Amino acid sequence: MSTYEDLKKTLTLDPIEVNLFRGHSPDSARGRIFGGQVIGQALAAAYQTVKGLTCHSLHCYFIRPGDPKAPVLYQVERARDGKSFATRRVAAIQHGEQIFNLAASFQITEDGFEHQFAMPDVPSPEALEDDFKERYSQRTPEQQLWFAARPMEIRPAGTFNPGGGPEKSGRYSWIRTKSDLGGDEGFNQAVLAYVSDAGILEAAMRPHNLMFQTPGLQSASLDHAMWFHRPVKMNDWHLYVQESPSASGARGFTRGMIYSKAGALVASVAQEGLMRFRDPMIEG
């Protein structure tokens, strides 16, 4: 997925019937479907069934690995349409089975109380370089594919240790798309949801000196949640702050905060992922 058109194609679904849509993976996809792809596509499917409202939160579960060679069907349930809020549930289906599900809530635009955590003080993106080749060339095939795709620029801005653990678990990264996505808030949110899954589980690995490519390590996203606080325009630089407060029970818990370059907190992320060494006696 090397261009804006490829990214738009991936996040644009084919309508099949009322509340039923079909999505496709990039032609170059291998292995299993990148988790951010089904998040973004499911959100795009939900957006097809609402008018005049904006997503403020989503919660989803990864159930089975996705097959990038088969289309994904997205079935939307219109759980509720109220005066201020609407709720949608989306099931992603392949080969007759759910591989993923999402619940999303949408709201009319309203004014209200305002506060937020301040954005950390980090080097500006202009002072940094995109070091894809050094940092990401050894990832798993599906992760390497996403990072090699190049619709996004990612410029790491340093690490930090939020919990006092043995290693620096947190990371700052500047992210943006290389092309202007226009003013469609739903599409910009879908792209942000797409990229929000990229590398966040690494924050739980660092205290244990692990990486995705560590021999014998089994890792996968289990669930993912996002809250959209303010409008987002993804061709502008955004700072993605990732950290891991805890790991236990073969699961790593991570969270993220995404700021605009001007310092506005536009979204928050939370994810739990599988993180264990492979055991032939354990079925995932």
Q: What is the mean pLDDT of each run of 10 residues along the chain (284 residues)?
A: 74 96 83 92 98 97 95 98 97 97 97 96 88 55 54 86 71 90 93 92 90 90 97 96 94 96 98 87 53
pLDDT of residue 139: 56
| Domains defined along the chain, listed by start | 4-109+124-277 (2.40.160.210)
pLDDT of residue 169: 78
pLDDT of residue 144: 54
pLDDT of residue 130: 67
pLDDT of residue 64: 96
Q: Is 233 left (phi over 0), alpha (psi -120 to 50) or beta?
A: beta
pLDDT of residue 1: 45
Q: Which residues are catalytic?
A: 197, 221, 271
pLDDT of residue 142: 52
In sequence order, which residues have a C-beta less than 8 Å from that of residue 260 and are 6 or more positions away? Answer: 230, 232, 236, 237, 238, 266
Distance CA 128, CA 18 (A): 47
